[in-house]
Amino acid sequence: MPALQIENLDPEVHRTLKARAASQGKSLSDLAAEQLTDYALRPTVEEIAQRARLRGSVDLAPGTASELIRGQRGPLGPAQ
Answer with the residue of higher pLDDT: 75 or 57.
57
In this prediction the pTM is 0.61
Q: What is the mean pLDDT of the chain?
A: 89
DSSP string, 17-31: HHHHHHHTT--HHHH
- Hey, where are the domains in the chain? 11-56
- Positions of E strands within 1-80: none
Residue 21 near residue 28, CB atoms below 8 Å: yes
